[in-house]
Structure 1
Amino acid sequence: MIRILHLEDSDLDAELVEAALDAIGRPYSIERVMDRPAFTAAAVPGRHDLILADFVLPTFDGISALAVAREQCPDTPFVFVSGTLGEETAVDALKNGAVDYITKQRLERLPRTVLRALAEAQAKHDKRRAEAALQALNETLEVRIAERTRELAASNAELQTQIIERERVEDALRLAQRLEAVGQLTSGVAHDFNNLLTVISGNIEFLAREMTSERSQRRLAMMKGAADRGANLTAQLLAFSRRQRLAPTPVSLNQTVASMRDLLQSSMGGAIRIETTLQPELWPALVDATQIELVILNLAINARDAMEVGGSLTIETANVTVTGQPTRPEEPIPGDYVMVAISDTGTGMPPEVVKRVFEPFFTTKEVGKGSGLGLAQAYGFVKQSGGGIRIDTRVGEGTSIRVFLPRVEGAFESPSQGASSSDRAEAPASARRSVLLIVDDDTAVREVTITRLAEAGHVIREAGSGLAALASLEADSRVDLVVLDFAMPGMNGAEVATEIRKRWPGMPILFVTGYADTTALMTVGAVGPDSIVQKPFREGELERKVALAVANRLQPGLRLVSSGTAGH
């Protein structure tokens, strides 16, 4: 709101001025006065934004009004609006402090003049305020400089500490990013490689049934062994990239180490002495029992290779509470852990090797002596399990690798060694052959799956995509089990499973995958080891889990008798 003080004795002229002010385009208010006493009383600082004044009044003139305004409210812009203002008089008025003058015959100029006067007044106000602030700044500058100097001097030591810590964190971040990038690459390679191995392994098994010559059987066995080594390689890659399927359970690491002693001794050879230091009352660890055995074995083999002639291997367990923040990506965050440490008296590792020791395929061993995946697999498994690893090593003295695993809270009982008779009940024979829908976008993989399950006595329907599978079920939903690939273009297995659950809630699903997102599988209900078959297929695993799924549909709760354990 623009506040205007108008000195005008003519009612008509006042109305004309007010009409002209409407063109300003902004709200305004006018306080009108007609004589000296009223003007003198109204012209006070901060009350008005602008003064408009006639030049000739009966008992008062504009020059006198300008003098009063300059004395009482010098910051308020003053504009003459008069019908008799001559050029010489106007010049004198401007010299005495008026901002502008307008003749009543040219009132159309008034809005522009008013806006300009207000803008100039605001600019002068801003300038004075800036000058005052600058003056205050100059007056306090020396004091502020002294205070700031003291602050900088006091924080210099802390700043140096922060710089060192930042460099450490940046180094750790770069390492973590490099390992994450390699992990993403290896998981993709493992997925595609597992599909290839499924086709290779499956067809080797089929050929082995048809070929009878000893020479052919020997060659097929060599091929099968190579395919199995490839499957183990992809399992290690998935472990590093933290994409493997884990089944964490409460595990006593003391029992694990004790049960592995004979295996470790045979792997170490007679020249290496094995010692164990097992803490009594050790907390149970929440970990995949099979995978932690592989980690301990791999670390022990690495230790053996680091000891050229004899030496000592020590395996230690302990309850540990970590309080410090990690300095490297593989180290544990603060918390309670169950620790198992493998220490050797070997050659140790220099710092440049320690920096890369968890990278896949990085090895200092001779060609053919190691894949460079042992520590990478341990790293991936331990981080996926929620723990960490620390390496303490000195060149020429040996290395200690400590594995930290999350503890189980609360009471813990050792798992029983055998299943009860009720758990091992035979599934009743089905009155008809079960119908399976096999869904896989890879034709060669699908053919291997179909052949194995058809030979197991099942009736097979097939689909090459998720949409094709849904269309097949729409046409005929009389299916006992859907065997569903996880990684497919378009709709992946999780999305297909979600849609099947919506349309056919009771339909059982068995996932077949070379690599799967654990979270996505859990979302669609694949929470147990019997709901997933890993590619490439281990001998009998696919047939066993399909039979179990079909039997559970016929009579929920029954389990099949099995002479073997599903592969991981």
Structure 2
Amino acid sequence: MLSASKILVVDDEPRMCDSLKLLLNNSGYEEVQVSNNGHEAIKCLAKNAFDLVFLDIVLPDMDGFQVMDYINQQHPDTMVIIITGHVSMQTALRALRRGAYDYIKKPFEPEELLAKGKNAIKQKMLTCENRSINGKLDLSEKRYRYLIQNSPDIIYTLDNKGNFTFISDIVEYLTGFKAKQLIGKHYTTIIYEKDLEKANWFFNERRTDERVSHGELRIKVCNGSNRFELCEIKYLTMELKSTGMYDRPTTEDSKHLGTYGILRDITDRKRLEVQLQHAQRLESLGTLSGGIAHDFNNLLMAIQGNISLMLLDVDSSQPSHQKLKNIETYIQRGANLTKQLLGFAREGKYEVKPTDLNKVIKNQNRMFGYTQKQINIHTKYEENLWTVEVDQKQMEQVLLNLYINASQAMAVGGDLYVRTENFIIDEDYIKHYHARSGRYVRIYVTDTGIGMNKATQQRIFDPFFTTKEIGKGTGL
């Protein structure tokens, strides 16, 4: 390896140059060139890259320091050893400050020159090798940093006191906390208050390898985050995997340095699990309600049969005749209720047929107006409203529920506005809403009540959801 090194000898004495070239060739260095002045040396340096230059300070056309300046600018990796017969401490220091590896004072022993030359070349090889290793390390670090910073999971490290020494930038997107602001902060900064005790156990865990600790934690979201400004989310549910860091393989004498781990956002997964459980409960409730409705319907039919037989024996002029007819009306209402329960049990398989919604709304408004005198009902009906296919009883129930909720929001009275219109959903509308294009009828129901907060608005279509107290009805 050393024999392949390129060496340049620069000295104003030709005999010195020839002697040094012969000495170096005999020592195994095959590529050795010589120059007797500064300009000639610079020309050689311009054509070739040398590993080592033996440079005399005193040259006929320029001093050796000028040649050194050229080497520093064009070939900073080239090693320089100063050779001079007029060396002083000041000259030597000046040469070393300009980047010379070493200096030799004439006269010198051949062994001294060969030893210093060999050391200089080895130093250059080590420097190049270190630069290559550092370059690979930098590249490896960039790759791992890219992987870490583009991971959807939060990757972090803690010192042995529980303070963040690193946390990936994704933490800002997920929680609103800036990564730079968390460095040096204790891990409790991001833990939801009710999970602090659990977090203390997880983050202080020192297990490694297959015994790595894992579990679920709730992580706070930053109040100033734009991501959460329109909702009331206070925390995210995350899956944690935490591992201890040590200065050596875990033994009794190993020193605990800190912890590293991963936080994975599973909020959506938990939400879907809750929705699945809710759907399963509704399915069970549907089965139960179907059975109850079927048995209840049989009871109503038995009562209906007996009432019909009694009416055959009662003259219409008798007072009991009207009471029996009232019982028939209540039985019919009960039958309609069982139909709704059966429809729920059959996942919405109701009696769907072409219906004029203007007529349905007018009937409901009239009935509701009889019972709620303190509310003024304002209507605006679309002329030639399109016929729609709906279950009329379901629509009546929906309208009634809306009206009742409106009246409860206007306890001292108010105004109820009901409007219908024909509406066409086109391709542009579909891009923003989950619907099929075509002709629709739109119903507006507006009241002057107290309204709903954001949390209630997000759940208004949940079956059996209510904000009412027990005994006050079930709302929508």
Q: TM-score, normalised by structure 2?
A: 0.37
Q: TM-score, normalised by structure 1?
A: 0.32
